[in-house]
Structures are given as structure tokens and as C-alpha cells.
């Protein structure tokens, strides 16, 4: 049933976004894993020329970031000089990273960008009131987002503004998402809470719960109907 769906979300495309905004910023990408690397490379290929990567000492991804041509600093050093700080480390690291390195270092009126809303939604990060706080959550794994970008395509992105200290957070967030290539497909405006809660529901209820149970039930149905278990296993 699809009753009571409510109004459609606002959707933005490249024509609605001003890339010059993000191109005029120094961007610090904190973390250089699957998402961090993709964000940094796509931003650069979209004309953002001032990008630094923030990593902890001894990070296994330091060599790759340097080989890709990015200056590597500590997270605090990277954040201190940036107009946009994109947090691309795992959610469980956000609380300590924010408290110990980003919060003391970020300059007033800078923007804090997250690819997932969990740490803001559940209070792991409580951003300073003088910062813009933006969600830019492409709906895909990092390497796939990168591959599609290089092919001239993109993925859908969920975008939202949690805090607009400067009055320019909305335009900056759209500019950032478009630089990832998402304006080619569609940037949907929502909230940190909606993105976070629906993502957790999809992971825990559908992917780790419903799908697994459906596969098991389908396998047993075929076996009980007399089909060889080996055949049923391949089909389910």
C-alpha cells in the first residue's frame, strides 16, 4: 500500500546548482576510504582545486592519498584552514574526532559535511552554532559513484541542511552534491533524521532481516516441494 505518502521531495539537478561556490572553497576531506577517496577525486575533477586530506598518524590510506596527489595533514590541521570539512570516517569515530580535533580547529562560518546523518541525529556530534551543517549522502558505494562519475553519469543523493549559520548552507550543499556528480541524476532534499532512520531501517529490517528470511523461506519451500537442495540453493 502507498497511502499517505505526502508531498514529493524537492529534487535538484545540475542546472539548479552553482559549482562556483564549492570551487571557491578549500575542502578538507577527513578520511580516505571508500567514500573519502571518491569525494576527493570527484570534487577535484569538478574543478575544486584546493583539497586537503586529513588522516590520523600511521593511516593505511596515507600513501594512496599522496599518490592521488593530495596533501595529507592531521584532521585538525586540515580542518583549521578549510571552508568545508567533509567527515568521511566511520560513524563510530565521529564523536572523538569532533571533540578532539575538528571542534577546536574549525574556523567560524565554515561548513561541516556528513555523508550519513547518524552522528548528528543521535547527538554524537553537537556542532558549534557558528557552523553550517550539511548532509550530502550519495546513494551508492564509493567505487561505483566514482565509476559512474567518470562515465559522465551519477547517482541520486540525499541532501539536507541541519544548521545554516551563514545563510548560504543550502546553496553550498547543492554545489557540493553537484560536484560529486549527483546533479546529473538528482539531488533530493530531506533531513538528517529521515536519511539516518530510513537507512538504519533498510539495513537492519530489510537487508539483514527481511531479505535473509525470504531467501531461507524460499529455499525450504522448494526443498519441501521435492526439488533437489542443490538446485534450490543456486536459485535462492
Q: What is the pLDDT along the chain (236 residues), one digit of tens a residue?
A: 345 556 788 999 999 999 999 999 999 999 999 999 999 999 999 999 999 999 998 999 999 999 999 999 999 999 999 999 999 999 999 999 999 999 999 999 999 999 999 999 999 999 999 999 999 999 999 999 999 999 999 999 999 999 999 999 999 999 999 999 999 999 999 999 999 888 888 777 666 676 777 788 888 888 888 888 777 787 78
Any idea what the Cα angle at residue 118 is, between residues 201 and 93, rounded to 5°?
A: 125
d(CA 77, CA 94): 17
The answer to whether the CB of 74 falls within 8 A of the CB of 63 is no
The answer to whether the CB of 111 falls within 8 A of the CB of 132 is yes
The answer to whether the CB of 222 falls within 8 A of the CB of 234 is no
Which residues are designated catalytic?
116
Instruction: Write the secondary structure of 51-62 as one string of H (helix), E (strand) and C (coil).
Output: EEEECCCCCCCH
Cα distances (Å, whole numbers) of residue 93 to 39, 83, 96, 130: 19, 22, 6, 23
Q: Give me the pLDDT at residue 1, please.
A: 38
For residue 229, give the 3-state DSSP assignment.
helix
Sequence-ordered list of residues with C-beta below 8 angstroms from that of 162, at least 6 positions apart, any chain: 117, 120, 127, 133, 134, 135, 191, 192
Q: Give me the pLDDT at residue 2, please.
A: 44
Amino acid at each position: 500500500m502507498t497511502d499517505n505518502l505526502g508531498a514529493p521531495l524537492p529534487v535538484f539537478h545540475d542546472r539548479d546548482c552553482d559549482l562556483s561556490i564549492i570551487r571557491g572553497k578549500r575542502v578538507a576531506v577527513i578520511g580516505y576510504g571508500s567514500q573519502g577517496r571518491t569525494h576527493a577525486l570527484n570534487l577535484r575533477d569538478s574543478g575544486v582545486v584546493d583539497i586537503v586530506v586529513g588522516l590520523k598518524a600511521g593511516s593505511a590510506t596515507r600513501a594512496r592519498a599522496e599518490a592521488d596527489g593530495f596533501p595529507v595533514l592531521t584532521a585538525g590541521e586540515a580542518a583549521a584552514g578549510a571552508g568545508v570539512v567533509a567527515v568521511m570516517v566511520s560513524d563510530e569515530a565521529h564523536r572523538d574526532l569532533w571533540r578532539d580535533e575538528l571542534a577546536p580547529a574549525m574556523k567560524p562560518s565554515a561548513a561541516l559535511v556528513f555523508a550519513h546523518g547518524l552522528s548528528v541525529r543521535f547527538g554524537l556530534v553537537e556542532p558549534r552554532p557558528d557552523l553550517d551543517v550539511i548532509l550530502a549522502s550519495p546513494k551508492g558505494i564509493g567505487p561505483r559513484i566514482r565509476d559512474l562519475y567518470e562515465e559522465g553519469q551519477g547517482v541520486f543523493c540525499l541532501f539536507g541542511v541541519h544548521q545554516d549559520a551563514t545563510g548560504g548552507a543550502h546553496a553550498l550543499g547543492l554545489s557540493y552534491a553537484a560536484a560529486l556528480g549527483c546533479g546529473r541524476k538528482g539531488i533530493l532534499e530531506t533531513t538528517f533524521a529521515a536519511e539516518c532512520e530510513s537507512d538504519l531501517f533498510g539495513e537492519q529490517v530489510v537487508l539483514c532481516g527481511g531479505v535473509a528470511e525470504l531467501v531461507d523461506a524460499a529455499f525450504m519451500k522448494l526443498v519441501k516441494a521435492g526439488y533437489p537442495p542443490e538446485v534450490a540453493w543456486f536459485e535462492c
